[in-house]
Amino acid sequence: MHGRQVWLAAIVHTLYVTYRPEIDGLRALAVTVVVLNHAGFTFVRGGFLGVDIFFVISGFLITGIIQGEIADDRFSLRAFYERRARRILPALTFVVVMVLPMAWVILTPAQLKQLGQSVAAVALFSSNFLFWQQSGYFDVAAELKPLLHTWSLAVEEQFYLLFPLLLLGLRRVRTPTRIMVLGFIALASLGLAEVGARRQWVSNFYLLPSRAWELLLGALLALFAVRSVEPVSARVSRIVTPLCFGAILLSVVFLDESDPMPGLLSLIPVLATAGVIWTAAPGTAVYRLLTLRPMIQVGLMSYSIYLWHQPLFALARRAKRAELDLLTIIALIGLTFILAYLSYRFVERPFRRGLVRSRRQIFLGSAVVSVLFVAFGWTAQAVDGNLPGKADAAAREAQLAIMAGSQIPDRDFDCHLNVLSMVDKYLGDWDCYAGSDSGLEELNVMVVGDSHAGVFAGAFLWNGFSINRASGSGCSILPPDTGFEECASILDLAVEQIGAREVNTVFLVNYWEESELSELFINLVLDFWLDYADRVVLMAPVPEFPTAHATYVNTGEIEVVADFSKADRFEEVITQMELPPEVLVVDTALHLCGTERHCRLIDGNRLLWHDFNHLAAEGSRRLGASMMSAGVLDFVEGARAGGYLGLP
């Protein structure tokens, strides 16, 4: 047997005890693409798949350790959970404790209240449940949540609460049987993930049942490797390793969050990761790359890097109250690596090597930290984020709430689907038709779209008209090709009601993602809706106030400069199109801010924008009044042709 084959054979028989430097290289790759993705670099649109890579690596390594100890009859649950506590908790606790003072200064009371929920969830390893429940109407953008990334830690720890018990239960059966049992569970989890990716995409992303298969694939690799008696040949290694490594790179470059994942599509990076673990051998280019000293060092620090990057970027975005420029991003990445090195060198590594030798002290310390974190979260929740030093900010925040009044009409919370997982109840209870609102004049139009459509309903309701409406948070105005079946159901409802109630005009209201600001998308939208309605009204994107609310709450200063970039891009696309006479375009920026584009976040004692891009009650009312004065109802009644709706 040649030297390389000897090494590969050694892998096969001692995977669970042999240090694998190339795996640290894989960790380095995984954490790097995650950081670059969260930093906003678009060339790694699928950088979030770094977490999937981590799951495979984790399942492989931990299973190897557990299986080896079970085989030697020396496995202990207490020892296992002690190792997990030493591995996870010290660095996590250190980062959270260091982040809290920064957050205390930067965040508004409402944001501190939400951070408190996150801190408590971290202590209970339930962050994935929290962020799953928070996904919905007016939810905070992911890049602004300092502890969002802890969802993956929660998934892992939930898995490792159960997995060792499963292996113990299977310890007396032969390895092939163990492989079959774990394989069956993994296939069931993958099947659930594939269904969830197309029906319940938020829960599918965050929860263990649809993630377990990625950890189990690593576990199966470890079990299969221990059983195998045939080494991987050098030829196979030279061919398979670069193919798998290339598949990982292509995945993080070309896949993105709009793809239905985790699911069958996730098999590409997940199987590719397993392939690299199985076949990488000394002498191959991939092995040499992954075992470069900088790669190994980054891999060793990868956990601390992962912990630090999200809070730094989120708090920087909060503090700057705008998108980060390139120099700031580079500085934050550098700071992430510096703090990660310090955490690894002085916190993570000492605890793993026995700085605290007593198992009792480890468990007791873990319990104390958990209690303190939960207490902080409970306190922040109880006082609505009005922690010491935040009294003035809390007063201004309360003032904004009073200015906003009711966010949307009382019934409209029933008419807008906030939590997509409740789509069946929404469809079954739907009674949001023209004439269903007592005391209002019936106007037989249909409003369709996402959360902006839910708000836009007030443009009619607060001006005396009852309308048909069907909307869901995050739902596009065009049926999705894949995934988001809840949104497809809402659009099906709208189409059905348009026919049943003989609705002649549909108002399309949308957040307008960058990918939707194109002639192709708008033409597809118009072709679809003009098959069902006589006339279509396209509502342009509203001007945005990305920094104004936080600036007012924290400083008392009122910003008057809005961001028109999305509205301008929409106008550029529309002006290049030849629209049919059955289509009317409403420039919301013109109707809200006038020809001089002087927008008012606060006008008198009324708040016009609820958050950075959703209108408040008064904003919707004023938009509707301006549209009606300009003749939008004439278009609805067929008394004027489409085109562009200017000011009255």
Is the model more confident about 169 or about 421?
Answer: 169
Token pair in block for residue 282: 């000394």
DSSP 141: P
Count of helices and strands (H, E) across the chain: 29, 9
The answer to whether residue 391 sits within a structural domain is no
Q: How far apart are alpha carbons 542 and 512 in whole angstroms?
A: 10
- pLDDT tier for residue 99 given thresholds of 50, 70 and 90: very high
The answer to whether residue 167 sits within a structural domain is yes
- 361/409 same-domain check: no
Sheet containing 416-417: give its strands across.
Answer: 416-417, 465-472, 441-449, 505-509, 535-539, 583-586, 643-645
> Is it the case that residue 70 has pLDDT exceeding 50?
yes
Question: Which residues on adjacent β-strands are paired with residue 603?
Answer: 606
- pLDDT tier for residue 226 given thresholds of 50, 70 and 90: low
The answer to whether residue 40 sits within a structural domain is yes
Domain final residue pick, 382, 416, 438: 382
State the CATH number of the domain containing residue 540.
3.40.50.1110
- 270/413 same-domain check: no
**pLDDT score, position 156:** 96
> Is it the case that residue 210 has pLDDT exceeding 70?
yes
Which helix H or strand E contains 63, and what residues bound it? Answer: helix 50-71
Token pair in block for residue 219: 């576990």
**pLDDT score, position 395:** 87
The answer to whether residue 392 sits within a structural domain is no
- 421/357 same-domain check: no
At 10-42, the pLDDT tens digits run: 333 344 447 889 999 999 999 999 999 999 898
Count of domains in the chain? 2
Q: How far apart are alpha carbons 340 and 348 in whole angstroms?
A: 10
- pLDDT tier for residue 137 given thresholds of 50, 70 and 90: very low
- 375/408 same-domain check: no
Cis peptide before 262 (omega within 30 of 0): yes
> Is it the case that residue 401 has pLDDT exceeding 80?
no
At 466-488, the pLDDT tens digits run: 999 999 888 889 887 555 678 88
Domain final residue pick, 382, 413, 436: 382
- 406/375 same-domain check: no
Domain final residue pick, 334, 349, 382: 382
Q: How far apart are alpha carbons 420 and 56 in whole angstroms?
A: 30
- pLDDT tier for residue 230 given thresholds of 50, 70 and 90: low
- 523/607 same-domain check: yes
**pLDDT score, position 463:** 92
- 287/160 same-domain check: yes
At 472-531, the pLDDT tens digits run: 888 889 887 555 678 888 999 999 999 999 999 999 999 888 888 999 999 999 999 999
The answer to whether residue 429 sits within a structural domain is yes
Token pair in block for residue 188: 């069931």
The answer to whether residue 387 sits within a structural domain is no
Q: How far apart are alpha carbons 375 and 124 in whole angstroms?
A: 12
pLDDT, mean of residues 351-372? 87
- 405/536 same-domain check: yes
Closest listed residue to residue 422, CA positions, set 202, 257, 114: 202
Average pLDDT, the chain: 88
At 544-577, the pLDDT tens digits run: 887 777 878 888 777 667 888 899 999 999 999 9
Domain carrying residue 65: 3-382
- 72/197 same-domain check: yes
> Is it the case that residue 606 has pLDDT exceeding 90?
no
Phi, psi (deg, nearest 5) at residue 304: -65, -40
- 376/406 same-domain check: no
pLDDT, mean of residues 450-465? 90
468: CB partners within 8 A, 6+ apart: 432, 433, 434, 444, 445, 446, 447, 494, 497, 498, 501, 503
**pLDDT score, position 242:** 93
> Is it the case that residue 419 has pLDDT exceeding 80?
no
**pLDDT score, position 483:** 52
Cβ atoms of 533 and 503 within 8 Å: the answer is yes
The answer to whether residue 23 sits within a structural domain is yes
- pLDDT tier for residue 257 given thresholds of 50, 70 and 90: confident
**pLDDT score, position 562:** 82
| Total length of the chain | 648
At 621-641, the pLDDT tens digits run: 999 999 999 999 999 998 888
Tokens 């630090």 appear where?
308
- pLDDT tier for residue 310 given thresholds of 50, 70 and 90: very high
- 406/554 same-domain check: yes
- pLDDT tier for residue 314 given thresholds of 50, 70 and 90: very high
% of the chain beyond a pLDDT of 90: 58
% of the chain beyond a pLDDT of 70: 92
- 87/121 same-domain check: yes
Beta strands 583-586; 505-509: pairing state: unpaired
User: Hey, how many other C-beta atoms are within 10 angstroms of the C-beta on 480?
Assistant: 16
- pLDDT tier for residue 138 given thresholds of 50, 70 and 90: very low
CA dihedral 6, 8, 12, 18 (to 10 degrees): 90
Please, what's the largest Cα pairwise distance for the chain? 88
The answer to whether residue 248 sits within a structural domain is yes
